[in-house]
Chain A
Amino acid sequence: MANVNNKPFGLIASFKTAPDIYEAAKRVRDAGYKKWDVFTPFPVHGMDGAMGLKRSRVPRFTLIGGLTGFWTGVLITWYMNGYDYPLIVGGKPFWSFIFPFPVLYELTILFAAFGTFFGMFISNKLPEHHHPTFDHPAFNKASDDTFFILIQNEDPQYDAEKTRALLEEIGGEEVTLLEE
């Protein structure tokens, strides 16, 4: 793990209970850190607020996907029924918004689902096959009974000494330097 050629990735600290990490997260948030994360064995209610997270941007991808789907539907039905091979069916117009509406909204839903799915991947920067926390021997306990806070090196506020001091001050144990 400790290879001198590797760049530092960040500092990770462990906590014993959910209230501890909840209070600690508020302190990290108030200290102004942006590039950091919390790892818990189960969802902790109110953690979003304690971390100062903003709302997800995924709905924007959903909306863009939905609108793309709708207009794709308009385009293909118009091209096929209104332009390339116009047919009179039941005395109805070659193309209108009414008869192909099931196609339009099905494509809206389909593309909105694509937008949501891939939007989630994009905004989480997935897929990510390896993460430096996996090198931390104690990290497996994040799915058992231990809570972690990781503050990344990339954070503009990051300072090896001060960040370590903050993590220790807020009750973090085993503050460890992770490397990329």
Chain B
Amino acid sequence: MSSQTATLSSDVSAQRGSPGFSWLALLVGLVGLGIAGMGFYQGLQEGNARPIVSWLIGFSFWFSMGIGMLFITMIWYVFGASWPIIIRRQLEHALSAFPWLALVFLPLLLVGWFYHENPGILWKWLNPDYVLPGGETVGDDVLYIKKAAFLNKDFFTIRVAFYFSFWCAWAFMLRRCSFQMERDGNACWDGRAHNISAIGIPLCALITTFAAFDFFMSLSYHWFSTMYGVWFFATSMRAGLAGTVIICYLLSTRGSLKGIYNQAHRYDLGSLCFTFTVFWAYITFCQYFLIYNANIPEETFWFNIRELGADWLKNSWWWIGLFGLIFGYFFIPFFYLLIYTNKINPKRLLAICIWILSFHIIDLYFNIVPAQKVADNTVGFTVREFSVTPWDIASLIGVGGICTWAFMRSMRKAAPIPIRDPRILGSIHHHE
């Protein structure tokens, strides 16, 4: 018995994220962000928005995964779910990335304040002198003037500060409840986390909705869709769940979850991945369907620039929408996850989660990249086509390195699973 305990504790300390690897992650993160930052700087010098968009893509990918994980943690607490307790600890580690994500977002905000040549290089409405297709400036645009009470630099800054304060505070409080329970063994922390989550879910839903409006929808500020926040929630949940599966796979094959993370956990996570695959499709299709059916030009232009070029031929986004989103992001994961063995087999579940994350990036591209640029043709603009630039890859890897570093740093602060949670055995012995 004592030798068993000794082996267990030595295993545990050996597997709690080696400092070497976490420093490597930080190095990768800094180098990646450094390269993306060079692109960012060059973009500002040349007035080219694409490298700034790259930075936003890199941020959004990891940020959406974090938002998904924050929601999942709160949902599990609110429902008093005992099966995912061993998984929840991994999400709590991931939530430690929020303050660093805020730091990654900061340059985008600072551009609006200090880049005087064109503060609207990313969000056009930050620059009243920005010339729109048709020759009008943002400042004279009635659609901007009507929205100016909301879309202005000061209020935007306040909102962003508020959003990140909320996400950081809730991540901090949820982590504290869980880690504190491990120290003093007091079960009341579970009740506190439950209350924090019950308050947090509606607040986070509202804040995430407005953040999606501000960060992504306002890139085309003429456009509006009330379902946009739900779209972002759905895609974030898919990213969060896929990230969870990947973390659990890595930790169960070569880390601290070996022998703990079992088939029933995979089955349930796989089923949740399936659920949100359907939910994402439902929301994304409904958004398209309502706009398609109403057929009002104020709304349809957003989809038109994602289908047609100025020459009325299909542009690159049409193919991205069809093969990337409809088939890649929906039909393939949908039919794949219908099959039971694909949910319980560790490698097969891992494969579809990597697939989902890849197409999640495509979904973000589809929402972020297309923009109208003034041009001398019949419609007065061209659409920024689909492209993957080195800056995109650098910022995706860079922000990822920072998040991985934050995750591994947090891993050293607590046991791999919440060992003093009163219901931990229910999670360890979870079965179908």
Contact = CB atoms under 8 A, between A and B. Distances in A.
Interface stretch (B75-83, B204-212, B251-259, B289-297): B289-297
Given A45-B431, A46-B431, A91-B295, A101 B340 contact: no
Interface string B281-314: 0000100110011010000000000000000000
Interface string A89-114: 01110000011011000000000000
Interface string A21-65: 000000000000000000000000110000000010001000100
B293 A99 contact: yes
Contact of A101 (B289, B295, B338, B431): B289
Contact of A90 (B293, B340, B431): B293
Contacts of A63: 338
In the complex, which range does the number of interface residues on chain A fall in?
10 to 19
Given A63-B338, A90-B295, A91-B295, A98 B431 contact: no
Q: Specify the main secondary structure of chain A where it touches its partner.
A: loop
Contacts of A99: 292-293
Nearest to A66: B338
Contacts of A46: 431
A159 B379 CA distance: 86
A55 B338 CA distance: 14
Interface string B305-347: 0000000000000000000000000000000001010000000
Contacts of B293: 90, 99
A90 B300 CA distance: 13
A98 B340 contact: no
B274 to A, nearest CB: 12
Nearest to B281: A105
Nearest to A45: B431
Interface string B399-432: 0000000000000000000000000000000010
Contacts, number: 19
Contacts of B285: 101
Contacts of A92: 292, 295
Given A45-B431, A46-B431, A55-B340, A98 B292 contact: yes
A160 B191 CA distance: 59
Contacts of A55: 340
Nearest to A48: B432
A15 to B, nearest CB: 23
Please give me the 7 A-B residue pairs with the lowest Cβ-Cβ distance, nearest first: A90-B295, A98-B292, A55-B340, A101-B289, A98-B289, A101-B285, A99-B293
Given A98-B292, A102-B289, 12 more contacts: A55-B340, A59-B338, A59-B340, A90-B293, A92-B292, A92-B295, A98-B288, A98-B289, A99-B292, A99-B293, A101-B285, A101-B289
